[in-house]
Amino acid sequence: MNTHYHPTAGATLKNGRYAVLRKLGEGITAVTWLVNDKSITDNRLRYFAAKILSAEATAEPHGPARERDMLQAIADSSEQEGHDYVPDLCDSFNEGPHLCLILPLYSTSVASLCHSGPHKCLPVYMVRSIIHMTLHALQLLHNLKIVHTDVRPDNILFTNARFSFVPDLENLFRTTLHTTVLRFRLIGFGHAEWLNRTPSRTTLCPPALRPPEVILSYGFGTAVDIWAIGCLAFELLVGRRLFHPEDDGDDWTNEEDHLAKMQQLTGQHFTADVLTRAKNGVKYLNPNGHLARIPELIPVSIEQAMRNYNIPGLAEEDIQESADFIRACLELDDRKRPTAEELLEYSFAKKAWLCH
């Protein structure tokens, strides 16, 4: 049970500086409000999003301070490449038992736009841009020793677009080369972790984005976000999650099915080096690196998995380039995955339609 901030009519924050206008969204540990900074005279610049943590989340040891410190580290890196694709912390303070984070007001999420499309996916040109900008964001975060752990469509927001009318959405989905320059920012640092510190939680990453090293417990690092980028690219292109594991009662568990699907899509098995590091290896794998309870796997290439959805406008060249990119992200050995900087050199990311 979380005790959230509940404003009364005419409520303000920080001794009257911020007027609380209306709720923008609500999560388990925080509620985000639209606020008006009364110290700013320009009406176009005075609106912000106030993320107000629950009393319980604020009281959690190291939790709120971790998110605030990360956002502050990002704010202090304004001269570094990638800063344009992460949020700016404008202010932070405590309002009674609640930590308040004041952030810029952005537009709709990539997830919301996907749900509006006819196939729950996005045009290739837009996916390339989203991936390109998110990689720049991760490049900065990883240089700052921050692991995001939650790179998904809900946490990527448009920063220069307002989609209020159906025609706007239809134009985006219908156009193959759109003239509007789209900008995105990676948000959602509530579950982020410092790279050089012990993770604050025992369960990392949403289930669908969970990489093998988290399931088998053989490491934690920036490669977690690289795995998620591969999952993100697939989901945005075809409108379906890359992994949706299921248990089968007594025959296998959710985790075993997840590991099986990883091997089916990549054609890889877990190497001797991984087995040596995997604390949970004996729970799922035999000494050869294969699943003990699911010995027979049916290989399915990433290319074929994409073709199976018959997405209009997804050309064979796009499938090949995106599959090469996704395959690199899904290297089972976390130490062999490319960095965000290296992924920016892949043709799938380099062909992003950007205008600076």
Task: Find how far residue 243's CA is from the centre of its chain.
Answer: 15
Is the alpha carbon torsion for 72, 73, 76, 79 positive or negative?
negative
Cβ(147)–Cβ(221) below 8 Å: yes
Q: Are residues 220 and 337 in the same domain?
A: yes
pLDDT, tens digit (0-9, with 9 covering 90-100), for 170-225: 455 454 444 456 789 999 998 999 998 887 777 788 888 999 999 999 989 999 99
The residue range of the domain holding 86 is 12-104
pLDDT, tens digit (0-9, with 9 covering 90-100), for 7-54: 887 899 999 999 999 999 888 889 999 999 999 999 888 999 999 999
Chosen domain end from 53, 84, 104: 104
Is 308 among the domain residues?
Answer: yes
Looking up residue 338, the CATH number of its domain turns out to be 1.10.510.10
163 pLDDT above the threshold of 50 = no
Task: Find how far residue 248's CA is from the centre of its chain.
Answer: 29
At 160, is the pLDDT very low, low, confident or very high (cuts 50, 70, 90)?
A: low
CB burial of residue 198 (10 Å; 0-12, 13-18, 19+): exposed
Q: Are residues 183 and 89 in the same domain?
A: no
Q: Are residues 162 and 302 in the same domain?
A: yes
Is 2 among the domain residues?
Answer: no
Looking up residue 50, the CATH number of its domain turns out to be 3.30.200.20
What is the CB neighbour count within 10 angstroms for residue 62? 11
pLDDT at 254: 92
Tokens of 248: 């089968």
Q: Give 187's contacts (C-beta < 8 A, 6+ positions apart).
A: 86, 87, 103, 106, 155, 156, 157
Type of residue numbered 66: R
Q: What does the pLDDT average to over 83-102? A: 95
Give the chain's domain count. 2
Q: Are residues 134 and 76 in the same domain?
A: no
Is 7 among the domain residues?
Answer: no
Is 228 among the domain residues?
Answer: yes
Asked if residue 51 belongs to a known ligand binding site, the reply is yes
> Which one is predicted more confidently, 278 or 247?
278
CB burial of residue 77 (10 Å; 0-12, 13-18, 19+): middle
351 pLDDT above the threshold of 60 = yes
241 pLDDT above the threshold of 50 = yes
Helix (H) or strand (E) segment spanning residue 140: helix 124-143
3-state secondary structure of 129: helix
DSSP-assigned letter for residue 122: -
353 pLDDT above the threshold of 70 = no
Q: Are residues 268 and 216 in the same domain?
A: yes
CA 114/CA 111 separation, integer angstroms: 5
Chosen domain end from 54, 88, 104: 104
Residue 145's Cβ-side half-sphere holds a number of Cα atoms within 13 Å equal to 9
In the chain, the percentage of residues whose pLDDT exceeds 70 is 91
pLDDT at 64: 73
Q: Are residues 34 and 128 in the same domain?
A: no
pLDDT, tens digit (0-9, with 9 covering 90-100), for 103-133: 999 988 999 999 988 889 999 999 999 999 9
Is 185 among the domain residues?
Answer: yes
> Which one is predicted more confidently, 247 or 5?
5
1 pLDDT above the threshold of 70 = no
Give me the phi and psi of 185, to 5 degrees please.
Answer: -135, 140
Q: Are residues 29 and 164 in the same domain?
A: no
Q: How many residues in total does the chain contain?
A: 356
Chosen domain end from 61, 83, 104: 104
Cβ(252)–Cβ(293) below 8 Å: yes
